[in-house]
Structure 1
Amino acid sequence: MPLEIGATAPEFTLKDQNNQEVSLSDFKGKKNVLLVFYPFAFTGVCEGEMCGIRDNIAAYQNDDTAVLTVSVDSPFAHKVWAEREGFEFPLLSDLWPHGEVAQAYGVFNDEKGMANRGTFVIDKEGVVRFSEMNMPGDARDQQGWQKALKGLSA
């Protein structure tokens, strides 16, 4: 089960597609975070969802909010995918320890060794304000994310 609304978001530090460390605490007190877990780079539904973020980036990433995406792919796979698709938001690698962050957020799929489609909106104080989990192959409705983010800035 994914983390519930009202839970404190677990801290993490992961490497992005440029091999730079990104921590959730980098945003505490500064920005809300849209945290999006996905199974794998270069797959149909995942690519569609990440392109949806890219194509609507102003709705997700601005002075008040940052976007962080996470999968068990390596930073090197993320680099190629980001360059190919024009993703400028962080694609974070939860490769090792394998799926540790996805496990902490309750969205790791033990059977398949990957993250399910977990989405969390975390406020500036590190509290989960939106939580959902879809299974692999089940695309998410990004309108819910936008509504949750708007609710934080209201």
Structure 2
Amino acid sequence: MTQATPLAVGADAPNFTLKDQNNEEVELASFRGDKAVLLVFYPLAFTGICTGELTALRDNLDTYQNDHVQVLTVSVDSAYSHKIFSEREGYEFPLLSDFWPHGGVAQAYGAFFAEAGIANRATFLIDKTGVVRFSEMNGPGEGRDPAAWEAAIKEL
């Protein structure tokens, strides 16, 4: 298995435009100067660990998304899959589709697990100027601790 290397703290976050679960385009640069972005890559919708992590975001959304921070989640699933997933689970934050070019944004962030064609569990906190202030990555079967995200947000 080839281990990807996630984008490092201090790096400029690559801009992207992806479609959300409502088939609306979301551009990372649109938050620049206004809000930091908590960018959460996950392998696949409807899977146990992924659902658990996104549900933790949903249940504590005011901790991670507010006037200063926007949550954006990304997987290789289609926008149509994300629509059903978000409706079923009550996710009100953007679920972005990195479907085509397949995993292109995950690749730009060093978060793509090429052997499986999915994103690793990578999280980045991008400040208002577009600089990565927090970076972590776990493999597909390894859950993350959202307390680390909360701590990184508090440090902004």
Matched, 1:5 2:9: yes
Deviation at 1:56, TM superposition (A): 0.3
CA displacement, residues 63-121 of structure 1 (integer Å, 9 cap, x when unaligned)? 00000000000000000000000000000000000000000000000100000000000
**Within the alignment, does 1:68 sit opposite 2:85 as a pair?**
no
Q: How many residues align?
A: 152
Equivalent position SS for 1:17:
coil
One-letter amino acid of the structure 2 residue matched with residue 91 of structure 1: L
Q: Secondary structure at the match of 1:41?
A: coil
Please point out which of 95, 118, 123 is paired with 1:119. 123
CA distance in 2, matches of 1:92, 1:71: 7
**In 2: Cα distance, 1:4 partner to 1:62 partner:** 25
Gaps of 5+ in 1: none
Taking the aligned partners of 2:28 and 2:155, their CA distance within structure 1 comes to 21
State the TM-score, normalizing by the size of structure 2: 0.97
Q: How does 1:4-153 map to 2 (within 5 A)?
A: 4-152=8-156
Looking at structure 2, the residues matched to 67 and 43 of structure 1 have their Cα atoms a distance apart, in angstroms, of 20
What is the one-letter code of the residue matched to 1:124?
K
Separation of aligned partners in 2, 1:33 and 1:87? 17
Q: In the TM superposition, what is the alpha-carbon distance from 1:137 to its structure 2 partner? A: 1.1
How far apart in 2 are the matches of 1:124 and 1:133? 22
Gap runs ≥5 in structure 2: none
Quote the Cα distance in structure 2 between the aligned partners of 1:74 and 1:110: 18
SS class of match (1:112): coil
Distance, in Å, in 2 between the alignment partners of 1:21 and 1:76 is 14
Q: Which amino acid aligns with 1:17?
A: Q
**What percentage of aligned pairs have identical amino acids?**
66
Paired residue secondary structure (1:106): coil
Following TM superposition, by how much is the alpha carbon of 1:45 offset from its aligned partner in structure 2, in angstroms? 0.1
